[in-house]
Structure 1
């Protein structure tokens, strides 16, 4: 299997930096202390000003506006998390892996998606949709991405995310029986070339420590756009 971004995506978003991590052996685990540590980093940063002023968030807002989306209606995943965390002071606990990824996303203000590899067919390509793909919401409804909308699309035409980093599908959401995961982090801001590798390294370190596994990772670019991982 593999993850890759289409040439159109790299051409239209030359500042894109993407990190990918694959790990197996995910089981129940305690991540509370690790989650709190990353949340504290986010809280300290938010104390100086709201997430709307973060360069990481501003870059995604510009990208969404360029795609014809209203940035305050369709927020990237990290902005939505930061906004909720700023208002409520905590994030809901869902699954140890999701909780950890959400906390890391908060700390770095970078969208992080975690997908159940068993629910992905063949490959995953980040590309403009044709409009015929199928997207499963968390409530069980089925949608079709708009033509031209950037989505995470597999070989069976399943859209695993809509509006790029805005909303993940319920189809490949991590659940109790998830054992193999693909984690994707993407950023567009000026220091993304430094921040995404740092985030990716942090995830690898945390996964290895919590689940005693040996994650594989890569930083993707226009010249090296593909990350291969076992089914």
Structure 2
């Protein structure tokens, strides 16, 4: 299978910078505990927040996503990118809850770089996965198990079976392909739209690759995609 963003999305958002990683051998009990790595990334996020002296809404990474959401007709303070939601919770609570070691690390990396990071269980994705504008007939499964239909024109992560694995682009993932106790093979997708994204995405992608190597002894494949090279083969 392969992962890509649709040509229409690249046309409307030419500044897009996606980072993608694929890894096998994931378990809920990594070879090396993740706590120290998670707290190191939290510390990086906390230091940036303290130096900035403001809220996450002032970060260029978040401002870029707010502009993108507004251009799609979404109220940015109602529908936030996943990184902004995590940053808001971290600012208020000083930590994030434990979910799964890989999710905990990816959430911590998202905090550190203020970039949305999604993790998908590949066993629950059918065929190719494309980020595109919805037709309106896609099926989206919530974490509670309910089924929704994305609005036509909404940006979704859609597989070949017509299932939407994320709604409103980086706003909300689906419960269907969320990482579980028995997850073994994953696709990690990070996306950014801000001016300095190319360099930061390369760094974030390498951080995530090191996480996979260190804690799971995995051999990840990764790439930073571009409009001229938009496809990642799994």
For normalisation by structure 2, the TM-score amounts to 0.97
Residue number among 156, 176, 184 corresponding to 2:181 in the alignment? 176
Residue number among 144, 149, 167 corresponding to 1:144 in the alignment? 149
> Once superposed, which parts of structure 1, at least 4 consecutive aligned residues long, lie more than 6 Å away?
none
Gap runs ≥5 in structure 1? none
Q: Deviations over 1:19-38 (max 9, x none)?
A: 10000000112200000000
**How many pairs are equivalent?**
229
Q: Deviations over 1:20-65 (max 9, x none)?
A: 0000000112200000000001111112221110000000000000
- How far apart, CA to CA, are the structure 2 residues paired with 1:139 and 1:129? 22
Gap runs ≥5 in structure 2? none
Alignment match, 1:63: 68
- How far apart, CA to CA, are the structure 2 residues paired with 1:190 and 1:106? 18
Q: Deviations over 1:168-194 (max 9, x none)?
A: 000000000000000000000000111
Report the more deviating stretch, 207-216 or 43-52: 43-52
- How far apart, CA to CA, are the structure 2 residues paired with 1:67 and 1:194? 26
Secondary structure of 1:159's aligned partner: strand
Alignment match, 1:197: 202
Calculate the aligned-residue CA RMSD, in Å: 0.5
- How far apart, CA to CA, are the structure 1 residues paired with 2:194 and 2:99? 29
- How far apart, CA to CA, are the structure 2 residues paired with 1:2 and 1:213? 20
- Is 1:37 matched up with 2:40? yes
